[in-house]
């Protein structure tokens, strides 16, 4: 267990989408911490609420989506209630972002060097020559060959994998405390995926940054994460050290996901051995949202929703562990 300082703390986060019939709850009572130098993997099927959790943290929820409850803290400062302008500064400086499509982060009209140097100069008191040197060093650090030449090229002159490396350099150039990476390797070839993931992890270690890695790929989590949060229908079903979760899942949903651990690049959905599919937000069943698919369901699961309960070093929202300590009870 890490004794390092918490960088990101998410407490009881709730994200809603108001609609004519009421509110759809996309993220429901989600809490977790990511410590210095740590990678927290967030995994789950499509629609589980992974991306909405990430977007809420960085203040980029698309309206009408909104944070309807809970708190987000970065290095001990509450950030969920900041103005858009203040959040923009945090995104530029203290939280770096890496998305699935590198082209969403890169401007096709400018050279990668221009984009890196502009970002560096906005946040650091350097001369242009120093910023250029820093940009070249960073491109080298993320594995771009001949960075002193490639710095003057445009994004379209890079391959997909190389572009994602540039985005990582861009995310790191301001020395952020936190990187939020949402499916950063999904669009890439399998062999490139592993390289990018290893790179992210190494840089996180070296720069002392924390990473929240959103993916539907358990293989990526197994290779990269220190801890993993498994999401189901907007809630955390289980959270714990990655090896514990892989070797001895505490939630029947996680157990289903772990039926076979894929290698990097294989889709979780294809390997899932659980019958049925995740309910839509409009059709979340009473009790535990997983109960209609659960092989170990019993009466209580159909009527009462379980909160996270501590089990060994993990926590699971499952009545099978009803003799453990409920997180909610413990907090009271
Ligand atoms: N504009 C919207 N209005 C209503 N519901 C929405 C809207 N955008 C997203 N949602 C819902 O929010 C839920 C969570 O979506 P989210 O994108 O976070 O899932 P995810 O786990 O990241 O899935 P994926 O792996 O497919 O990205 C989904 O059920 C989705 O349908």
CA–CA separation, 219 vs 213, rounded Å?
12
Does residue 122 belong to any structural domain of this protein? no
pLDDT at 102: 79
Does residue 115 belong to any structural domain of this protein? no
The CATH number given to whatever domain includes residue 281 is 3.40.50.300
pLDDT at 3: 65
CA of 60 to the centre of ligand 1 (A): 14
Question: Order of strands across the sheet with 178-182?
Answer: 95-98, 178-182, 210-215, 39-43, 227-232, 235-241, 314-316, 309-311, 325-326
Does residue 71 belong to any structural domain of this protein? yes
Does residue 68 belong to any structural domain of this protein? yes
What's the predicted TM-score (pTM) here? 0.89
Binding site membership of 51 for ligand 1 (Cβ less than 6 Å): yes
Q: What is the pLDDT of residues 276-328, one digit of tens each?
A: 889 998 899 999 999 999 999 999 999 999 999 999 999 999 999 987 655 54
Binding site membership of 306 for ligand 1 (Cβ less than 6 Å): no
Q: Name the residue at shortest CA distance from atom 6 of ligand 1.
A: 17
Does residue 291 belong to any structural domain of this protein? yes
Name the residue range of residue 216's domain: 6-94+206-331
Residue 154 and residue 112 in contact, taking contact as beta carbons nearer than 8 Å: yes
**Per-residue b or e along 73-102, where b marks 16 or more CB atoms closer than 10 Å to that residue's CB:** bbeeeebbebeeeebeebbebbbbbbbbeb
CA of 97 to the centre of ligand 1 (A): 19
ipTM of the complex: 0.95
pLDDT at 69: 97
pLDDT at 330: 44
Q: How many domains does the chain have?
A: 1
CA of 69 to the centre of ligand 1 (A): 18
Q: Name the residue at shortest CA distance from atom 12 of ligand 1.
A: 26
Binding site membership of 49 for ligand 1 (Cβ less than 6 Å): yes
CA–CA separation, 257 vs 253, rounded Å?
6
Q: Is 22 left (phi over 0), alpha (psi -120 to 50) or beta?
A: left
Q: Rounded to 5 degrees, what are φ and ψ at 157?
A: -85, 0
Does residue 158 belong to any structural domain of this protein? no
Does residue 194 belong to any structural domain of this protein? no
pLDDT at 300: 96
Residue 147 and residue 136 in contact, taking contact as beta carbons nearer than 8 Å: yes
Does residue 148 belong to any structural domain of this protein? no
Residue 73 and residue 79 in contact, taking contact as beta carbons nearer than 8 Å: yes
pLDDT per residue of the chain (332 residues) written in tens, 0 to 9: 446 789 999 999 999 999 888 889 999 999 999 999 899 999 998 899 999 999 999 999 999 999 999 999 999 999 999 999 999 989 878 998 888 887 888 999 999 999 999 999 988 899 999 999 999 999 998 889 999 999 999 999 999 889 989 999 998 888 899 999 998 888 777 777 777 888 888 877 887 889 999 988 888 888 889 999 999 999 999 999 999 999 899 999 999 887 645 545 445 444 456 788 899 988 999 999 999 999 999 999 999 999 999 999 999 999 999 876 555 444 44
pLDDT at 327: 53
pLDDT at 325: 55
CA–CA separation, 261 vs 242, rounded Å?
12
């Amino acid at each position: 267990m890490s004794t390092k300082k918490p960088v990101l703390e998410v407490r009881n986060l709730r994200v809603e989408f108001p609609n004519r019939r009421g509110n759809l709850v996309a993220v429901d009572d989600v809490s977790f911490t990511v410590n210095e130098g740590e990678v927290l993997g967030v995994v789950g099927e499509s629609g589980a609420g992974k991306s909405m959790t990430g977007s809420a943290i960085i203040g980029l929820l698309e309206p009408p989506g909104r944070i309807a409850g809970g708190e987000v803290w970065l290095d001990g400062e509450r950030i969920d209630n900041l103005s858009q302008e203040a959040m923009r500064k945090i995104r530029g400086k203290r939280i770096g972002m890496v998305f699935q499509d590198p082209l969403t982060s890169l401007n096709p009209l400018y050279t990668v060097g221009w984009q890196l140097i502009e970002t560096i100069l906005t946040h650091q008191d350097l001369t242009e020559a120093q910023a250029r040197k820093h940009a070249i060093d960073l491109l080298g650090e993320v594995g771009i060959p001949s960075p002193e030449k490639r710095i003057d090229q445009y994004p379209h002159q890079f391959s997909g994998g190389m572009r994602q490396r540039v985005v990582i350099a861009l995310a790191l150039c301001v020395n952020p405390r936190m990187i939020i990476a949402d499916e950063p390797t999904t669009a890439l070839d399998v062999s490139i995926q592993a390289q990018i993931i290893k790179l992210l992890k190494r840089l996180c270690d070296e720069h002392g940054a924390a990473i929240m890695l959103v993916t539907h790929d358990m293989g990526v989590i197994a290779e990269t994460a220190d801890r993993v949060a498994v999401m189901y229908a907007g809630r955390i079903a289980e959270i714990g050290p990655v090896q514990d979760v892989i070797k001895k899942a505490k939630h029947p949903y996680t157990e289903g996901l772990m039926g076979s651990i894929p290698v990097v690049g294989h889709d979780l959905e294809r390997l899932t051995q659980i019958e049925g599919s995740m309910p839509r937000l409009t059709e979340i069943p009473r009790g535990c949202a997983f109960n209609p698919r659960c092989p170990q369901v019993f009466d209580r699961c159909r009527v009462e929703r379980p909160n996270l309960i501590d089990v060994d070093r993990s926590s699971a929202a499952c009545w099978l562990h009803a003799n453990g300590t409920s997180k909610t009870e413990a907090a009271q």
